[in-house]
Amino acid sequence: MTKNKMNKTKSHFIGKLIGTIIIVLSVMFFTSGCGNDKAKDDVAKTKKQTENTEHSAAIKLTDNELKEFGIEIKQVGAGVITNHVDLTGEIKAEPSRLSHIIPRFPGIVKEVYKTVGEKVKQGEVLAVIESNESLTSYEVKSLIDGTIIELHMAKGDLVGGDQVAITVANLDKIWTILTIYQRDINKIKVGQRALVSLSAEEKGEEGTISYVSPVVDEKTRTSSARVILNNASGKWRPGMFVSAKVFVSEKNLPLVVEKSALQTLEDKTVVFIKRGNEFFPQQVNTGMVNDMSVEITSGLQPGQQYVSKGSFTLKAELLKESFGGEE
């Protein structure tokens, strides 16, 4: 092969190689451009789907409708979750505030000045008795301020010995003796708050556990705790049956909502969030919970407005719309 022919062949090969490289680079560039466009299209499509889904899940309500349906709005924020133990018990008079009066000398009751239910003052004369031995009369006086809750004498009666004739009780403070079953014994401690009430509907009065019995009754297998309550109003009467909530734990948490805000949609726990005049179901995860409140561990942010009461109405409306219902 001549030198000129060899050069010509070499030039032809190099030209062909360069053309191939240009074609490959063009294909790569076109593919890359299409890929970027496709990615952008996918993002836009996803965003559009999200917006459409959010829009379809939105419920619009006017202020009048909120009021009509009893829907209340609150703000997501920090709160305290307390857990309690439910106990039952009985109101009793404080032993140190009970005065059991026994006449000093046996004799005949000459006069009785008070009756059951009357209030008396310390040193006030309650009765007059004539002694059998000296035949002289002496006065029976109250040793404390209080109310006569028992009276076992009348004019002309013969009294004496160790029989209690009059019982005076100061009921300005009373004891609530709570029954503790074995399963709860280790939960109840001195110093815990207790809310004592006569019925489930009543708000109750707050007190503190002042004593927990160190022994368990052999027959009932229960222990007891004591709560001292102020009773200046006379509301609490010895013998009353009461219930109490003893708060055994208390924790401050960053995100807490009312328990009534929670609803279930498609097996997911949601809270309805308010944006403007629209409401959206927001999936959440929960933590600590009690009868009134629940901790939110994810799904909500501080300051968001949420439906605290009436969320079931929004759920029903959302389900109605998903099944093609009309407003």
**Residues 259 and 304 grouped into a single domain:** yes
- Comparing CA positions, the residue from 107, 106, 123, 126 lying closest to residue 115 is 126
Q: Where are the beta strands (DSSP E) in 62-204?
A: 72-75, 77-93, 98-101, 107-112, 119-120, 125-131, 137-141, 146-151, 158-159, 166-169, 173-181, 193-197
Q: How far apart are CA 203 and CA 197, in angstroms?
A: 7
Residue finishing a domain among 250, 274, 294 = 250
Q: How far apart are CA 299 and CA 282, in angstroms?
A: 7
Predicted confidence band of residue 10 (pLDDT cuts 50, 70, 90): very low
**Residues 89 and 202 grouped into a single domain:** yes
C-alpha distances (whole Å) from 318 to each of 33, 57, 67, 263 are: 42, 7, 18, 12
What average pLDDT does the segment 164-193 reach?
Answer: 96
Which pLDDT belongs to residue 105? 94
**Residues 230 and 266 grouped into a single domain:** no
Q: Which is higher by pLDDT, 112 or 61? A: 112
CATH of residue 240's domain is: 2.40.30.170
CB burial of 131-169 (b: ≥16 within 10 Å; e: otherwise) equals beeeeeebebebebbbbbbebebeeeeebbeeeebbbbb
Q: Is residue 136 part of a domain?
A: yes
User: For residue 194, what are the β-bridge partners?
Assistant: 207, 246
What average pLDDT does the segment 247-262 reach?
Answer: 95
Q: Is residue 292 part of a domain?
A: yes
CATH of residue 111's domain is: 2.40.50.100
- The number of folded domains in the chain is 4
C-alpha distances (whole Å) from 121 to each of 81, 104, 118, 147, 148 are: 47, 20, 10, 9, 10
CB 119 within 8 A of CB 144: no
pLDDT in tens, 118-159: 999 999 999 999 999 999 999 999 999 999 999 999 999 999
Which pLDDT belongs to residue 324? 55
Residue finishing a domain among 224, 250, 276 = 250
Which pLDDT belongs to residue 12? 45
Which pLDDT belongs to residue 200? 72
Q: How far apart are CA 55 and CA 48, in angstroms?
A: 10
The two tokens of residue 92 are 């009793």
**Residues 163 and 300 grouped into a single domain:** no
- The residue segments making up the domain with residue 208 are 84-93+172-250
Q: How far apart are CA 68 and CA 219, in angstroms?
A: 56
Range name among 44-48, 228-232, 233-237 with the lowest pLDDT average: 44-48
Mean pLDDT of the chain: 85
Which pLDDT belongs to residue 159? 94
- DSSP output for 270-282: EEEEEETTEEEEE
Q: Is residue 327 part of a domain?
A: no
Which pLDDT belongs to residue 320? 80
**Residues 27 and 136 grouped into a single domain:** no
**Residues 1 and 44 grouped into a single domain:** yes
**Residues 182 and 88 grouped into a single domain:** yes
What's the whole-model pTM score? 0.65
Q: Which stretch, 79-83, 177-181, 315-319, has highest mean pLDDT? A: 177-181
C-alpha distances (whole Å) from 197 to each of 246, 274, 285, 290 are: 12, 37, 34, 19
Residues listed for the chain: 327
Is the pLDDT confidence value at 306 over 60? yes
Q: Which residue has the tokens 């093609």?
A: 324
The two tokens of residue 102 are 């026994």
**Residues 202 and 303 grouped into a single domain:** no
Sign of CA pseudo-dihedral 124, 125, 131, 135 = positive
Q: Which residue has the tokens 């006449």?
A: 103
Residue finishing a domain among 111, 142, 169 = 169
